[in-house]
Structure 1
Amino acid sequence: MNNIRDLSTVQGEVDTLLKRLPKDGPTVDLQPLLYVMFLNSALHFVLGVHPSEQQSEAPLTADEFVKSFHSALIYSMFRVVLGRAWSLLPQKKYIKKCATAHKFLDYYINRSLEENGGRRTKSLIGQLSEQTHDPDFIRSQVIQAMMAAQDTTSELLTNALFLLARHASYWDQLRAEVVAISEDGFSAEALMGSALRLHPIFPLLGRLALRDTFLPVGGGLNHDHPIYVEKGSMVVMSYYALHRNRSVFGDDIEEFRPERWDSIKPEQWEFMGFGGGNRACLGQQKATIEAAYVLARLAQSFAKLESRDSRDWKGELKLTCKSANGCKVAMY
């Protein structure tokens, strides 16, 4: 889509965030603030609607939709984990949450289909409405996009700021780079890569074999021969373990050291911050652009970023993995 690099919505959300952030150093938890910011951005990107300008005719508010949507996602997670055993559990609440979320989305899908001939919109729902008139197909794509858009970028940025708050020299370096942007532009690739390596948004990910196949390695005495995977088998990958391979990243695998990327060049399957292959994250470019933009704006606005939480990073795993203790910092 042409609006991947359009930062106008995120720009407005960052302006609002900067107005809310205290400037004199009190403790603030950035995690919920970043979540709300990217949720608003996701609603605008996907549906073409901002919570502040929501249609009064809509069957429910954006907040009500988000609550139902999140509940349905949690139920879906258990559905995947439990497999066939899921059918033994009561599903009335799950069905109700799905129906509520669908009701909200269907309102905007139908509105987009009706208006498609009259005006062109840059939102995902608008683009899909130009390609098909199948509301069920559009809804499926929108749900997939909402799953990917709202949590992932905010968690990536939260983790990056969590790490930067504990390493003042890197914040100073970031500020220097942003203030004196060169002709090559500002790049946060090493910072983002380090955050994704240490705290992957998806530490575990499963894939179902749709047919009998082979994985290139994993078999034999030394696990370096192909291994047979039967149709219907679930293959679980640990990005957490993959990103702590000493032969690739060095012995200091638990250290936040962005400069390591100057001397290492992981191959495609050695670092998978956004997955890999045909099922890699489609929003990779959008996520990195938006996260880098927010980092740059924060670095322009605050000379100091200090941690106000001495606890080590602790993950809370649901569909994604976020910081269980938030990101409590002081900025001034």
Structure 2
Amino acid sequence: MTETVEESTLPLRVQRIDDVALGVKAFEMAHADGLPLPPAQAGAHIELQLPGGLARSYSLLNAPGETQRYVIAVHRTPDSAGGSRHMHESLNVGDALVASAPRNHFALDEAARHTCLIAGGIGITPLLSMAHRMNATGQSWELHVCARTPAHAAFADEVRALAAAGANASCHFHFDQVPGGQPLDIDALVRSQPDDVHFYCCGPTGMLAGFEAATAHCAQRRHVEYFAAKAEAAVAGGFSVELARSRLTLEVPPGRSILDVVLDAGIAVATSCREGICGSCETRILEGEADHRDALLSPEEQALNQSMMICCSGARSRKLVLDL
């Protein structure tokens, strides 16, 4: 069975590791052969291949356009399936890694008059790259950092320096586990902003749900990035998938995803997260109606029914015809 499609990969070498907050390490990596790295846009991520067949996506936090290094940060999660545990416990300066070229499902709108960024914990990482970019272009922005305590807030000094260097920029910290501390009232923040502001949020699933509720009236101006599955995968089964290019028709039984069935048939499909958050397995729909469960496509894009993440989404129709 083929697990992934061969894609262009980058050989990296770790050249620096720093503790940047409680339970958070930053990793600076360069091309293993000393070559320039592909430039990345603000909000982009890379996918690292880790031992045991694990693939994990991490946002790039350094300034977009840098080609001598990639910088990521990893939170050591207590229930780690192996990714963050390996990064924290086993990775050392000088070690080699293989990564994908940068991908971006969380792009910055550079035409916005003003941008409001909201970070929860490790969700600061893609927003840092956005702040770098907006300082370079002279855009107006504000960043709200939410953490339990100051010790949990990664890159706080860098955030303050970026805000101080911006032409029209500010930063605000919200610590909810310090005396007198209060969580950020996202609904009130959104209501206080003019009706042309673009909002970006990255953080824990609960925060993102609150953010989406608060910005329901301006969905065209909100941008969200999930680090975990947004909804349970569709595994009810009971439908067929026709693979147009492969000339195969496959039945999807209960308990199995479309991706599982396609891979079992020997069809090569790029895959990583299997939770609908990385976009690797996005597949064009030629016919039928998908049951979308991903965290990447907007409600409008899901309604268009032009593509789907086959790792987690299913079918509302008896048959789907896919461009595979």
TM-score between both structures, scaled by the size of structure 2: 0.23
Tell me which protein shows more strand as a share of its residues.
2
Which structure features the higher share of helix residues?
Answer: 1
What TM-score comes out, normalization by structure 1 length? 0.23
Larger radius of gyration: 1
